[in-house]
Structure 1
């Protein structure tokens, strides 16, 4: 195989393993532990059960990145590999993939492998994957594909809206005081990924309708102008469609796709959460 696009399951996109004769695709799953139960993040149909288990469990939970050997196996069957990982500021997945790269190149120095730290998660990574597939299926060499992806990444961003933040608080991603306010008052949390791949809170809103309007205002302020948007939801397609309608009212030419969050993204976004990856002008 000439090209292969690999991602950990911090992305939400799920595609056939063979894009065409020359380009393959593979998702390397993260692991989610809830009490004594282990979830392998490789099946979107498991998400309702994952959420039910997480919400009913009184035991602790955690997530684990793929082992280097798992990445190495994914890199084995292609000449040119682009691998996207969760933000290195949130997960060890990037370091694991880098170790796999070293191992694979020791065995076959002729391969081209680039590990792309997305500094993000979910639907922004989906945008990057779509761009990588577009470039890999065109007449562009490996180094130019990497450079064009880096340039594209400068024009992508991520917003999110959360109805619950229990896991973010438990795992040290969010302040406990902020988390308790959201749980007690029914506040929606609006945030973005920072330039260094961390979670940043930018608004707190009472009720989903106002929260969606704040998300739209953030898009405007960040320079959105009819580019591609991917809206990922955790078991809340209705609110994803409501946001799509709001955006199209302001930007009739917008290209908007809706998909479901992966297990890992559902674990952190939790039930009702939205992740919005978008292209800036």
Structure 2
């Protein structure tokens, strides 16, 4: 049986300590503003704190996907060692990265016909994608083969729940997720929408909550309602430079249910461009997506 590697991209927003510990190969997306382009590389090239401070001061970042050559170069490194590849990719709705990944794959297969490259479209991003990566490594370390891991992720990814609350609707408007008029009304009325990532990967508003505190309480309520087998689950909380509120959200959840662990990490600059400072996202395995 051929050996294999599990790789991802920087949109998974996992702690850099995890990436280093597991030696996870990854592709960086990029973020640019103020005449500078930064690799999204888990806070190395651009610290989370600086990114969110710059956005608060009016910078409007732009993001870009990796090119096919980037994927080809990473794939080739492992194909030359007769290693197969499982790539857990950021949602095809969020980014065109998967297109570059497939072009790079086709080029590799021309050169290495026996190579196997499996690509999972996470149909989510940030720590939702990160939880899929974590599950893949747990299965690999338990002796599961590439096909078993790929099939598990494909069969269960609709059980990976994503719920998001943003603090400033301007960022959602810029990303084309809501209209200018809806954003204005929401801002004036202090509406903090709760959104989810639906079956098709699109962002879908599900609740309109008045006030930040109420919105975060609603996130906790959703987790308690939707999670399954909580005692064996890791919940992940991604935040837009609002660690204190993320910790409060964690405490509110664990007052109601027992969980294996709660992972908290900042949302990186590529995903954070769309959520902005104050964004809060929660991810967990549970009931099927809406």
Alpha-carbon separation, structure 2, partners of 1:53 and 1:237: 17
How far apart, in 2, do the equivalents of 1:199 and 1:264 lie? Answer: 16
Tell me the residue number matched to 2:76.
Answer: 76
Q: 1:137 to 1:223 in 2, by over 3 A?
A: closer
User: After superposition, where does 1:1-281 map in structure 2 within 5 Å?
Assistant: 2-13=3-14, 14=16, 15-17=18-20, 19=22, 24-44=23-43, 46-57=47-58, 61-78=61-78, 79-226=83-230, 227-280=233-286
Deviation by residue 1:134-185 (Cα, 9 ceiling, x = unmatched): 1222322221221112233132111111101323312313222222233333
The answer as to whether partners of 1:65 and 1:93 remain within 8 angstroms in 2 is yes
* Displacement of 1:126: 0.8
CA distance, structure 2, for counterparts of residue 54 and residue 249 of structure 1: 34
Q: Distance in 1 between matches of 2:20 and 2:255?
A: 36
Change (3 A) 1:252 1:43: closer
Deviation string for 1:202-248 (max 9, x for gaps)?
Answer: 11222222112211222244344413211111111111111111111
Q: Are 2:158 and 2:199, in contact at CA under 8 Å, matched by a contact in 1?
A: no
| TM-superposed deviation, 1:254 | 4.7
Show structure 2 runs of 5+ residues with no match. none
TM-score, structure 2 as length reference: 0.87
Instruction: Describe the SS at the equivalent of 2:284.
Output: strand
Give the structure with the larger helix fraction: 2
Which region of structure 1 is more displaced relative to structure 2, 42-51 or 3-12?
Answer: 42-51
Report how many aligned residue pairs link the two structures.
276
Q: Which has the higher strand share?
A: 1
Equivalent-residue separation in structure 1 for 2:182 and 2:225 (angstroms)? 24
Gaps of 5+ in 1: none
1:236-271 deviations in whole A, cap 9, x for unaligned?
111111111111111034531111211112212211
The separation in 2 between residues aligned to 1:199 and 1:16, in whole angstroms, is 27
